[in-house]
Chains A and B, each alone.
Chain A
Amino acid sequence: SSELTQDPAVSVALGQTVRITCQGDSLRSYYASWYQQKPGQAPVLVIYGKNNRPSGIPDRFSGSSSGNTASLTITGAQAEDEADYYCNSRDSSGNHLYVFGTGTKVTVL
Chain B
Amino acid sequence: QVQLVESGGGLVKPGGSLRLSCAASGFTFSDYYMSWIRQAPGKGLEWVSYISSSGSTIYYADSVKGRFTISRDNAKNSLYLQMNSLRAEDTAVYYCARGPGAMVTFDYWGQGTLVTVSS
- A residues sitting closer than 8 Å to B (CB atoms) are 1, 30-33, 35, 37, 41-45, 48-49, 52, 54, 86, 88-90, 95-103
Cβ-closest chain B residue relative to A50: B103
Query: Does A96 contact B59, Cβ atoms closer than 8 Å?
Result: yes
Provide the residues of chain B in CB contact with A99, threshold 8 Å.
Answer: 47
CB distance from B98 to the nearest CB of A (A): 10
Query: Does B104 contact A101, Cβ atoms closer than 8 Å?
Result: no
CB distance from B13 to the nearest CB of A (A): 27
Q: In the complex the two chains form, what is the Cα distance from A24 to B95 in whole Å?
A: 24
Q: Which 3 A-B pairs have the closest CB atoms?
A: A49-B103, A98-B47, A100-B45
- Hey, what's the 0/1 contact readout for B1-29 against A, CB within 8 Å counting as 1? 00000000000000000000000000000
- B residues sitting closer than 8 Å to A (CB atoms) are 35, 37, 44-47, 50, 59, 61-62, 95, 100-101, 103-112
Query: Does B45 contact A88, Cβ atoms closer than 8 Å?
Result: yes
Complex A-B: 5 CB contacts under 8 Å: A33-B103, A33-B106, A42-B112, A97-B47, A99-B47
Q: In the complex the two chains form, what is the Cα distance from A102 to B108 in whole Å?
A: 20
Provide the residues of chain A in CB contact with B104, threshold 8 Å.
Answer: 30-33, 48, 88-90, 98
